[in-house]
Structure 1
Amino acid sequence: MGDKTTHPGAAGRTAAADRPGGIRNVVLVGHSGSGKTTLVEALALATGAVTRAGRVEDGGAVSDYDEIEHRQQRSVQLSAVPVEWAGIKINLLDTPGYADFVGELRAGLRAADAALFVVSAAEGAEGVTGATRTLWEECAAVGMPRAIVVTHLEAARADFDTMTETCRAAFGGDSPDSVLPLYLPLHGPEGPDGHRPVTGLVGLLSQRLLDYSSGERTETAPGPEEQRRIDDARNRLIEGIIAESEDETLMDRYLAGEDIDVKTLIEDLERAVARGSFHPVLAAAPAPDGSRQGLGTVELLELVTGGFPTPPERTPPPVTALDGTPRPALACDPAGPLVAEVVKTSSDPYVGRISLVRVFSGTLRPDETVHVSGHGLADRGHEDHEADERIGALSSPFGKHQRQIPQAVAGDVVCVAKLSRAETGDTLSSPADPLRMEPWSMPDPLLPVAIAAHSKADEDKLSQGLARLVAEDPTMRLEHNQHTHQVVLWCLGEAHRDVALERLRTRYGVQVDVVPHKVSLRETFGGKASGRGRHVKQSGGHGQFAICEIEVEPLPEGSGIEFVDKVVGGAVPRQFIPSVEKGVRAQAAKGVVAGHPLVDVRVTLLDGKAHSVDSSDAAFQTAGALALREAAAEARIHLLEPVAELRVLVADEYVGPVMSDLSGRRGRVVGTEQSPGGRTLVRAEVPELEIGRYAVDLRSLSHGTGRFSRSYARHEPMPPQLADRIREQAENGA
C-alpha cells in the first residue's frame, strides 16, 4: 500500500482465476452520483483491461451499458467487471446508487467478499446519506470488510479533510480511529479561479510523494513543508493500526518510543482490513485525457489485492437439503460439492436468458447438468421450482460482451447461458446431491402500480412479459388481485416502476398503460332491513314466476354471508331455497350500492310464492338478487375500507414529521418504541386508500432514512363524506 512494486495486467483468463486465493470480489456502494461507475472505469483503464476510459477494444462500455442506463444517465442494475492486478483477478461489482434499486445492491453484497464505499468530496456532509449509513451497518452486521474511497477531488469545492471527518463521524461509531486516511491529497499551483487541483498523493506510511500529474505515477521524497503535514496524520494512523493489531506488545513498544517498521505496520493494517475492524480512507480521481492511471488507482488496487480477503477467508451462506435438513458448512473449495447462486438474471434478444452466478463451492463447467432450486418468493409471483437443466457456455462478464472461459472455480463470478428456469436468488447444485442456499434479505416492494395492456396484441404478450420481468427482479411482486381484477406490479419506487415499464416495452415488446390502483373496498348493512324480490314474466308458453321475502341484519366483522331458511308451510318449495341463496350470494359478490362485495350479514328467507309451472331455479335466483337489492335500498349501507398496520422505522429527528404525516392520512398512531442506532419504531393503523404512495413520500419525508412494512389489519367503515363520493363515482360509471 504505497510501498509495494505492482504491475498491471490485461484483463483476460489467467491462472489467478483457477484458484480461489487468486480472486477478490469487491462491491462498490454509494449513493447515485458518487462516482462508482467512473471509478470502475478508471480501475479498468489502470489495469489495462480497457484501452481508453470506460471502453473495451471495440468501443463498448464496461459498465452502465444498458440502453435504459444510457437514457437515464444512471446505473439501474448490477454489473460485474473483471480486471487483473499483480496476478490477482478482481471482480468489481458496480451497483446502482438510487434507493429504488437496492435489490441490485443487495445482490452485489451477496456476491462480494468486501465493499468499497464511494463518497463524493464535492458534496460535503451530504455525500454520506442516511441510506449509505444503513448499508454500512448491514455490512458491519455480517462482518464484511470495508474501505472508503473519496471521489470528485477535482471539483472546485472538494475538501478531502472535511469528507474524511464526515466519514469518521458516520462510520466510526464508538471507534472513530478505525476510519483513517492512508494518503493525503497533494495540490498543484493555484489557478486563475483560485482552485488548486489535486495532482498527487502523499503516502502516510511510506512517506513518499506520489505524483499523478503526468498520467503515470511517479514517486519522490517529501520536502520540509509536506513532511510537517505528514507527521500528525501519520502518527494518528499508526496509533489506529496498532490499536487494531493482534500483537498486544506492539502498542507498548510504540509508546516506549520504538520506531515500528513500515512492513510490520502494513501487515497489521492488511489483517485489520481483512477482519473488518479497520476501514482505510483513500482518494481517487479520473485519469487526464489520454492517460492510463487516474489519481489513487494504483493505491486502491494495492489495497484490494493486499488487504481485502480472499473467498476462502469468508464463510459461505448456510445450505440445506431440499427437505430443509441443515447440511455441513461449505468451504470455498474447487473440489467440493457444487453450490452456486444466481445473483442477477437478464435477457438478451440473441442469446436468451443470462445468469450472473457466484460460485461458492465446487467447480462449474460448460455443458454440464445442474439442479436449479428456487423457493421462498411465491408471494412475489415467483413459483417454487425444482428442475435439472443443462447449462450452456460460461463466460466472463465485460459490459455487453462475454468472454468464454473453460470453467469457474469456487469464489469466482461468472455468466451462465441457457438456464431457462433459473431466476435471481436460485441455487445451482449437483443433481446427485441437490442443495438449497439460504436466501439473502430482499426489500419488500411497497409501491403498487396497476397496469393494463395497451391493445389486444399487447394483452396476448403481457403474461409472458411479466413472467420474464419478475424472474429477473425478485424485489418486484406480481399480483393478480381477485377482488379488484387488476394486474398490479409492486415496486420499490417510481424509478423502479419506470424501468420495469420501459423494459416491458423495449425488451419484451409489451406496451402497457398505468391505471389508477384500486383497493379492495367492501359493503355491509348498518342495520336491519327487509326486501321483497318479485320476478314474474309472462311471454307465451312457460313464463317465469318467483317471489321471495327476506330480512337482512348485520353481523360481526369476519362473519361473511350467512343464509338462514325460515320458510313455513312450503311457501317456497324446498328445491328452490338453494336457488334463492345462490341468487343472494351472487348479488352480494357484485355489491349492492357501489359495486363492492357485501360482507358480514345474515340473510333470512321468511316467505315467498311459487307457481306450479312457471317457477324455476333461474327465476328464484333472480328473485333472491332482487330482494337483496330492495333491502339495500331501504337500509343504511356502510362502505368498508381496508386498514393496514404500518411499522415505520425512522431516525429520531424525523419522528415528529412522520407522526404528523400519518395523522394527516387518517392514521392512528398506536405506539412507539426506541430502536438501536438513534431510531424509533412507530406503529400505526392507516387506511390503505391513504398509503398508495407512502413508499415515495416516506423517503422524501425522512431524507431516505425511513423504512416501513405493512400488513392487513381489518376492514372498517370509512367516513360518510368519502363513502358518498365513492358512491357517486360508481353511479356515474367512474
Structure 2
Amino acid sequence: MGDKANTHIGAAGGAATAGRPAAVRNVVLVGHSGSGKTTLVEALAQTAGALVRPGRVEDGATVSDYDEIEHRQHRSVQLSLVPVEWGGYKINFLDTPGYADFVGELRAGLRAADAALFVVSAAQEAEAVASTTRAVWDECAAVGMPRAIVVTHLDTARTDYGTMTEVCGRLFGGEDPDAVIPLYLPVLGPEGPDGHAHATGLTGLLSRRVFDYASGERVAKPPADDDLPAVEEARNRLIEGIIAESEDETLMDRYLAGEEIDVGTLTADLEKAVARGVFHPVLAAAPAADGGSQGLGTVELLELVTGGFPSPLERPAPEISGVGGGARDGVRDGVGCDPEGPLVAEVVKTASDPYVGRISLVRVFSGTLRPDDTVRVCGGPHRSDGHDSGAGPAGGEPHEADERVGSLSSPFGKQQRVLSECRAGDLACVAKLAHAETGDTLCAPERPLLVEPWPMPEPLLPLAVEAHGKADEDKLSQGLARLVAEDPTMRLEHNQDTHQLVLWCLGEAHLDVALDRLRSRYGVQVDAVAHRVPLRETFGAGATGRGRHVKQSGGHGQFAVCEIEVEPLPAGSGIEFVDKVVGGAVPRQFIPSVEKGVRAQAARGVASGHPLVDVRVTLYDGKAHSVDSSDAAFQTAGALALREAAGAAPIRLLEPVAEVGVLVPDAYVGPVMSDLSGRRGRVVGTEPAGPGRTLVRAEVPELEIGRYAVDLRSVSHGTGRFSRTYLRHEAMPSGVAEKLRERSLIEA
C-alpha cells in the first residue's frame, strides 16, 4: 500500500478500467460527530485531484456538507456521495452524519458501501469512541464488511497516536486486539507556538520508509536513526498480526525460524486479510498544509482503499426475493455484479431539489441503468431493528409502479455531472422518480424483484404540529408526506384519539432538521404544540342516572326518558350495554337508540373530555310518548343519563402504560433503573444481552417517557437505546390526575 515505495496498487490498470465493477470501490465513512469525516473526504478529493483548493468546488460549496441546513446548523445531517478517481479506480466515498439522530443516513451509507473507514479523533475520549461507533462496528462485523481505522486531529494539543491506537485495539479488536494494528507511525516535527509537536509525515512499517508531507507534497526518505528502535518494535508486531491472519499456513513457521519475509508477500497477505474483513489497519490522516495539494496520510489511505478494500464483485448482493414476499429459489444466486445481468438497483437515499425535483441516490447491484429506461419501482414495509414504538403504523406500504428513468448524474458538491449510464457496482443520482422512496428496488418490468430493505431504528420522540396559518394548511400534508418518503426513520401519525398530527423522530436534532426542511424547502410554516397522550376515563364506583329529554314547540315534540345504572368493569372490558327494561317502559325499537346515545357520549367523555371505558351501562326503566318519542330523542336521553350518573360518581383517569426495554452497558444499569423509578416506572426484570450489556424491562406510564429518547442519551452517555410497546391503560394516581386537570384549566 503506502509501503510500496512510490507506487500504488493497481496503477497499471489506467483510466480505461474505471467503467468496470472491478475498478470501483464504495467506501462509507463512519465516526462520531466532530471526528473529521467531512474534512477527511475533502482532503482525499484534493489529493486525488478532484479539488483545486481545499474543501471547495467551483460554486463555493464544500463537496460534502453543501446543504443549506448543514450550513445553518454547522453539522452534517445527511448522507453525501463524493466520487473521485485514483490510479484507474473510481472511489465512491459516502460521508455519513456522526450525530445519533441521523443514524438512518448512516444505515443507508452502510447498505451502499462495500467497506468502511472508521474515523476516530485523537482528541476524543475513549468513552465517546466506544459509545458512538462500537455498535456500527459490530454491525459491519456481522456481515463481514472490511474495515479500517483512520485517526484524525493529531495536530490537537495533548493528543497521542499511540494511545488512540491502543484504545482502538481494545474497543474494536475484542478478543483479538492484534487484528487492529497501525500500518504507519507519525513523524513529529518541532514544537509549535502551542507547545505541541505536529505530525509532518508517516513512517511505513513494512517498507521502513518515511513519507514526509511537510512541504504539502509527499516525499519519501529513510527514517532517522533515533526512530529505528520504535519502528522495528511496531513493525514486528504488525508482521506477526499479518502472519496470524495469513492463508499461508507455512508463513508463521518460516517467520519463527528467523526467515526474513519479503515485503511483497506481507503486503499481499495484508491486502487479502483486509478484504476478508479479518484484519483492520490503523492509519493517520490530516488535511494538506497551506499551499499543499496532498494531506498527511491521504495517499496511503487511497492506496489502502484501492488495494485492500474489495470491489463490488467480491461482495454478495443483499437478500433478494420475488415481489409479493414470496421467496424465489435461486433468485439471489442468479443476481451477480454483472453489467449485462438483470437490473437490480436500490434507492439508498431520496432528496428534493427546488429546481430538479425528487432526486434518488441509487446503488446498482446488477445490470446497467440508463436514462429513458422504463423500470419497475417495487417497495415494501421498512424493517425496524426490533424496536416497536407503538407510535403508529410501520412505514412503507407495499407498492409497485413503472417509471421512466430521468437523467443520471454523479454529484460533486452542488454540481451534478451527467452520466450516460450506471453499471453494476456503481452509484448514481436519478432524477424525477416520482414513486420511488428510500429503500425501494428498481428492476426490469418483466422481472420484478425486491431487495430486502435494511433495518431502521424506530422513531420514539413525538412532535405534534399544526399549520401556522390558513395558507399553510393546504401545503402541510404534502410537505409532511414528502419528508417521510425521503426519510424512513421518520413516521407520520394521525392520532384518532387526540386528533393530533404527530411527527415521530429520533431526537431533537432530527426534529429541528424536519421543521427546517418544511419551512425552507416546502414553504410550510408549522407550530409545535404539546403532544397529548391518549387518556381514558372510567367510573370509580357505581351510580345511577336519569335522562329526560322533553321539548314541545308546536307540531311533533320530543319526548324520551330513560333510567340507567352504571358500574365499573375490569380493565380492557370496554363499554358493555345491558337491556333490563320490563313492561315496555321503553319501546323495543328505541332501546338501540339509547345504546347509541350512551356510546356516543362515552366516546366524548363525561368529565375531562377523554373517552369513557370499562363500564357496564344497564337500562332498566324509562318513559315514551306515542307521538313525540323518536330515535333522536332517546339518543339524547341516553347521553343525558350517562352524564348525570357521572356527576354522582368519582371519575378516574386512566393513562396508557408502555412496556419498555432499555439496552445499556452494565455500568449504566443502576442509573437507568433509578431514572425509570423516578418516572413512576416498575422495573420487572433484567437480563444479559451480550457481552457487557443488560436489557432492563419496565412498565412505565407513557406520560413520563415522551422525551425519553433524549433523556436516555444523557443518563447513559449516548450508549443506551430503548423500545416501547403499548401494554394497557391503568388508573392514574389521584395526585398526578389533579395536577393534570389543573394544568389543563390553566392552559385553557
TM tier, shorter chain?
over 0.9
One-letter amino acid of the structure 2 residue matched with residue 595 of structure 1: G
One-letter amino acid of the structure 1 residue matched with residue 156 of structure 2: A
**Does 2:311 match 1:297?**
no
Tell me the equivalent position of 2:351: 346
**Does 2:115 match 1:114?**
yes
Mapped partners of 1:288, 1:638: distance in 2:
70
Question: Which stretch shows the higher mean deviation, 535-544 or 439-448?
Answer: 535-544
Tell me the equivalent position of 1:271: 272
Mapped partners of 1:424, 1:132: distance in 2:
24
Q: Which of 585, 609, 625 matches 2:639? A: 625
1:519-534 paired onto structure 2 within 5 Å: 519-534=533-548
Question: Which stretch shows the higher mean deviation, 625-634 or 520-529?
Answer: 520-529
**Does 2:139 match 1:138?**
yes
Tell me the equivalent position of 1:510: 524
Mapped partners of 1:483, 1:407: distance in 2:
50
Q: Which of 394, 411, 420 matches 1:397? A: 411
The residue matched to 2:349 in structure 1 has which SS? strand
The residue matched to 2:124 in structure 1 has which SS? helix
One-letter amino acid of the structure 2 residue matched with residue 115 of structure 1: A
Give deviations 1:462-517, integer Å, cap 9, x for gaps: 01001100000000011000000000011000000000010001001111111111
User: Residue 637 of structure 1: CA displacement?
Assistant: 1.6
**Does 2:167 match 1:162?**
no
Give deviations 1:607-656, integer Å, cap 9, x for gaps: 11112222222211111000000111111222110000001110000000
The residue matched to 1:264 in structure 2 has which SS? helix
Mapped partners of 1:728, 1:583: distance in 2:
29
Question: Which stretch shows the higher mean deviation, 663-672 or 319-328?
Answer: 319-328
Check the 8 A contact 2:689/2:695 in 1, yes or no: yes
Check the 8 A contact 2:564/2:619 in 1, yes or no: yes
Mapped partners of 2:446, 2:555: distance in 1:
72
Tell me the equivalent position of 1:427: 441
Check the 8 A contact 1:339/1:359 in 2, yes or no: yes
Tell me the equivalent position of 1:373: 378
**Does 2:262 match 1:261?**
yes
Question: Which stretch shows the higher mean deviation, 640-649 or 188-197?
Answer: 188-197
From the superposition, tell whether residues 344 and 336 of structure 1 become closer, same or farther in structure 2 (CA, over 3 Å): same
The residue matched to 1:625 in structure 2 has which SS? helix
Check the 8 A contact 1:8/1:84 in 2, yes or no: no
User: Residue 7 of structure 1: CA displacement?
Assistant: 7.5
Mapped partners of 2:354, 2:224: distance in 1:
59
Tell me the equivalent position of 1:205: 206
Check the 8 A contact 1:8/1:47 in 2, yes or no: no
User: Residue 401 of structure 1: CA displacement?
Assistant: 1.3
User: Residue 193 of structure 1: CA displacement?
Assistant: 3.5
User: Residue 166 of structure 1: CA displacement?
Assistant: 0.8
One-letter amino acid of the structure 2 residue matched with residue 362 of structure 1: G
**Does 2:324 match 1:310?**
no
User: Residue 733 of structure 1: CA displacement?
Assistant: 6.5
Question: Which stretch shows the higher mean deviation, 586-595 or 319-328?
Answer: 319-328
Mapped partners of 2:185, 2:727: distance in 1:
56
Mapped partners of 1:187, 1:145: distance in 2:
30
Check the 8 A contact 2:25/2:89 in 1, yes or no: yes
Tell me the equivalent position of 1:47: 48
Mapped partners of 1:513, 1:323: distance in 2:
40
User: Residue 560 of structure 1: CA displacement?
Assistant: 1.5
Tell me the equivalent position of 1:648: 662
Q: Which of 560, 581, 586 matches 1:567? A: 581
One-letter amino acid of the structure 2 residue matched with residue 3 of structure 1: D
Mapped partners of 1:17, 1:575: distance in 2:
82
1:570-589 paired onto structure 2 within 5 Å: 570-589=584-603
User: Residue 526 of structure 1: CA displacement?
Assistant: 2.0
One-letter amino acid of the structure 2 residue matched with residue 649 of structure 1: L
Mapped partners of 1:509, 1:63: distance in 2:
25
Mapped partners of 2:287, 2:150: distance in 1:
13
One-letter amino acid of the structure 2 residue matched with residue 528 of structure 1: G
Check the 8 A contact 2:566/2:645 in 1, yes or no: yes
Tell me the equivalent position of 1:438: 452
One-letter amino acid of the structure 2 residue matched with residue 592 of structure 1: V
Give deviations 1:319-372, integer Å, cap 9, x for gaps: 111122323223111111111100000000110100000111111111101111
From the superposition, tell whether residues 454 and 274 of structure 1 become closer, same or farther in structure 2 (CA, over 3 Å): same
The residue matched to 1:379 in structure 2 has which SS? coil
Mapped partners of 1:187, 1:127: distance in 2:
26
The residue matched to 2:197 in structure 1 has which SS? coil
Check the 8 A contact 1:184/1:202 in 2, yes or no: yes
1:12-411 paired onto structure 2 within 5 Å: 15-126=16-127, 128-327=129-328, 328-329=331-332, 330-377=335-382, 379-411=393-425
Give deviations 1:190-241, integer Å, cap 9, x for gaps: 2344221111111000100111000000011123112122110000100010
Give deviations 1:694-727, integer Å, cap 9, x for gaps: 0001111111110111101001001011122333
Question: Which stretch shows the higher mean deviation, 474-483 or 218-227?
Answer: 218-227
Tell me the equivalent position of 1:537: 551
Check the 8 A contact 2:319/2:451 in 1, yes or no: yes
The residue matched to 1:123 in structure 2 has which SS? coil
Question: Which stretch shows the higher mean deviation, 256-265 or 564-573?
Answer: 564-573
Check the 8 A contact 1:63/1:79 in 2, yes or no: yes
The residue matched to 1:336 in structure 2 has which SS? coil
Check the 8 A contact 1:593/1:727 in 2, yes or no: no
Question: Which stretch shows the higher mean deviation, 567-576 or 209-218?
Answer: 567-576
User: Residue 731 of structure 1: CA displacement?
Assistant: 5.5
TM-score by length of 2: 0.96
RMSD (Å) for aligned C-alpha atoms: 1.6
Check the 8 A contact 1:365/1:394 in 2, yes or no: yes
User: Residue 6 of structure 1: CA displacement?
Assistant: 4.4
Tell me the equivalent position of 2:618: 604
From the superposition, tell whether residues 730 and 611 of structure 1 become closer, same or farther in structure 2 (CA, over 3 Å): farther
The residue matched to 1:245 in structure 2 has which SS? coil
Tell me the equivalent position of 2:675: 661
Give deviations 1:165-205, integer Å, cap 9, x for gaps: 11111111111110010000001122344221111111000
Tell me the equivalent position of 1:671: 685
Hey, which bits of structure 1, 4+ residues long, moved more than 6 A? 7-10
**Does 2:475 match 1:474?**
no
Tell me the equivalent position of 1:484: 498
From the superposition, tell whether residues 191 and 724 of structure 1 become closer, same or farther in structure 2 (CA, over 3 Å): closer
User: Residue 728 of structure 1: CA displacement?
Assistant: 4.0
Structure 2 alignment gaps of length 5 or more: 383-391
From the superposition, tell whether residues 589 and 192 of structure 1 become closer, same or farther in structure 2 (CA, over 3 Å): closer
From the superposition, tell whether residues 235 and 7 of structure 1 become closer, same or farther in structure 2 (CA, over 3 Å): closer
Check the 8 A contact 2:409/2:416 in 1, yes or no: yes
Mapped partners of 2:109, 2:622: distance in 1:
69
Tell me the equivalent position of 1:2: 2
One-letter amino acid of the structure 1 residue matched with residue 339 of structure 2: P
Tell me the equivalent position of 2:389: none
User: Residue 543 of structure 1: CA displacement?
Assistant: 2.3
The residue matched to 1:424 in structure 2 has which SS? coil
Check the 8 A contact 1:124/1:162 in 2, yes or no: no
From the superposition, tell whether residues 206 and 9 of structure 1 become closer, same or farther in structure 2 (CA, over 3 Å): closer
Tell me the equivalent position of 2:386: none
Tell me the equivalent position of 2:430: 416
